[in-house]
Amino acid sequence: MTAKTNKKADASREVLPSWDLSQTFYAGHNDPQIEIDLLRIKATVKEIVKYEGQISELRPYEFALLVRLYDGLCDLVRKLIVYSHLLSDTNLDNQEITNFAVSISER
């Protein structure tokens, strides 16, 4: 490699992408809203399970409610998973954040 190539490689390593996850997701991995959302997920799952074996018998408005519950569940789960992965990917040297991401995935 030439000196010019080495300088380009060094420069590309210095400029890493970053973004403020708190604008879209949570204030940090210790944000109390995370636990609130996890509790909402558990409550929504309990509500959805009540419909097991009854979907074909639901009235249209009941089916719409079930779909709304499921859609909200998917949104919350997606938000938590995407946040934990993005946070972990931008903090590879932070074991606490890595552990946080793993715990979210396991839940």
pLDDT in tens, 32-77: 999 999 999 999 999 999 999 999 999 999 999 999 999 999 999 9
Q: Rounded to 5 degrees, what angle do the CA atoms 25, 37, 27 make?
A: 30
In sequence order, what DSSP letters do the residues of 36-49 get, joined into one string? Answer: HHHHHHHHHHHHHH
pLDDT for residue 5: 56
Mean pLDDT of 88-97: 91
What is d(CA 41, CA 107) in angstroms, rounded to the nearest whole number?
A: 10
For residues 4-31, give the mean pLDDT: 76
Q: What are the structure tokens assigned to 90, written together?
A: 């931008």
Contact 54, 67 (CB under 8 A): no
For residue 10, the model assigns a pLDDT of: 59
Q: What average pLDDT does the structure give for the chain?
A: 89
Predicted pLDDT at 34: 97
